Structure 1
Amino acid sequence: MKKSRDKAIPVFLDRFMKREGRKVESVLEEILPDSRKRPASVHRAMRYAVLGGGKRIRPVLAALAFRACGGRGAAIYRVGAALELIHNFTLIHDDLPCMDDDKLRRGEPTVHVAFDEATALLAGDALLSLAFEVLASLGTRDSSSGLRTSRMIHEIAHVAGTMGIVGGQVLDMESEGKRVSLSTVTYIHTHKTGALIGCSVRLGALLAGARKKQLEALSAYGNRLGFAFQVVDDIRDLKATSRELGKARARDKERQKATFPLVLGLEKSLKKAHSLVEEAKSEVRGFGKYEKHFCALADYVVRRAT
């Protein structure tokens, strides 16, 4: 069934996202374990989590940075697939009863509901391991690709650990039900969602062999965009319907999570998201024909809040 176009996305960006998304989807189908092979239950859960939809924003960002820095070839789709594996690992664990205890994701039962908690936990672990396996396989061709692969693995390992996603999640849990400062909620957002989105852009640039100035500019773009993405998610949790979210609405408020609307209110949170997007766009001037793609994608992120 053909996907309808999201009217919030310009046609040129929609085409790019769908084309790159299909390539990544093909790689994911290839690398995910056969659900008929032992341990079948975990393999089914892995495929259920990863192939269940989503816009593949992270692989698209990686591909965009890769092309903008002169990258060629299909290796970027394996990088994009690895990013999706890690993204879905974080979602599976985030949804567990010991974390956010969410029952729906993308309009479908979460992995621990569709299977069970133990299977969900192991499926998430397996996705993380598979992501590193996929990335490591890129460095077997020559010394140049080996060095780039080493840098990418170092980057994503750092982001997935206590200095990134894990650290953000710990503070997120510890902040529930408490009065939090703006610096605390900023730390949480830049170390969870923001960290992986920023990493996605850097991985694409690293694979392409980006120059130092290109890498710095794209890193700044990705970090600000990732931050804005999470602020917008906070806003959508309060404003969007359950159908639009694909999960229960106002869950952050119910659990008294540390969010920007809680600290700043909705209006100031939206202004913050707009400000971050404008800062992100200012970093990608000079990337030729891809500048408009970077800017349109940033605009799309903040438009989701309105």
Structure 2
Amino acid sequence: MSSLPRVVAVLFGQPGAGAFNQAGVEGLARAEALPVAIETLWEPVPARRTETIEAAAQRADLVIAHGGQGEQAVAAVAPAFPDVAFAVTQGRITGPNIAGFEVLQEQSAFLAGVLAGWWIAPGGVAAHLSGEPVPPGLRGRAGFAAGLAHANPGARFLTGFCGNQHDPELAGRWTAGQAAAGATLQFAMLDGGRAGAIAACKAAGMRAIGNVRDWTADDAVFLASAIADNGVAMVAAIKAFLANRFADRRIGLEAPEAVRLALAADVPADLAARLEVLRGAILSGAVRVPEEWAGEAWAPP
């Protein structure tokens, strides 16, 4: 039996489905160079999240719940395992043995919203789509909405959470509905369901903005991608645990390897330069990226 500290990472979804979980898998692969023994568990069923986190805690020194959808399960389980450390990537719950390790998706999403506002017509329509309304997803939506309003105050914003990150048919149906309602660009924060959104964007002639990783290299439908590489948070959690500095950490635009806006080749250079100025303003504190949005949600008729 290994004497190395035992790390059990719980990922919510199916292997091979979606960029968010893939980024986490890649982060764990990089962490294999660290002096730990890593095990990965997959849990695709929301109703089983708590029991899966509990099973992980029974054999781990550090449990990592990958994604904000793990917050409730960790909050329920951690008090019963005071000698186990619990990390939630993209999470902000607190506790004596809980820490959140987060890449600030809302910062790159703000820049994505600004680009969207400059790209669509004055007073035009931009859309946002995600699956579960978990806190990091809500913050990402808030960032995009604020960026859109910053660049195009008269723009109409269609935003919805379809209920499932991993259902391509559902994502496609919602995307088609947003296009029918007038949207010409969509920012999608999806995982396994992204293929459906891409297909619907193409069918409607919409441009897309992705998230987590650089989608512009994959398909010309993407105008940009609001990168937030959560694999960096995976590695940060393990390093903090090993260093006995287990405390919340947030990583933003100051670390472009983790958080940045990637642009397609057809984004004009002057827009790219203006976005870089705004990036600097966010880092200096001159521009604040909000974490909440109080507008009206949209759903297909």
TM-score, normalization: structure 2?
0.25
Greater helix proportion: 1
Greater strand proportion: 2
TM-score, normalization: structure 1?
0.25
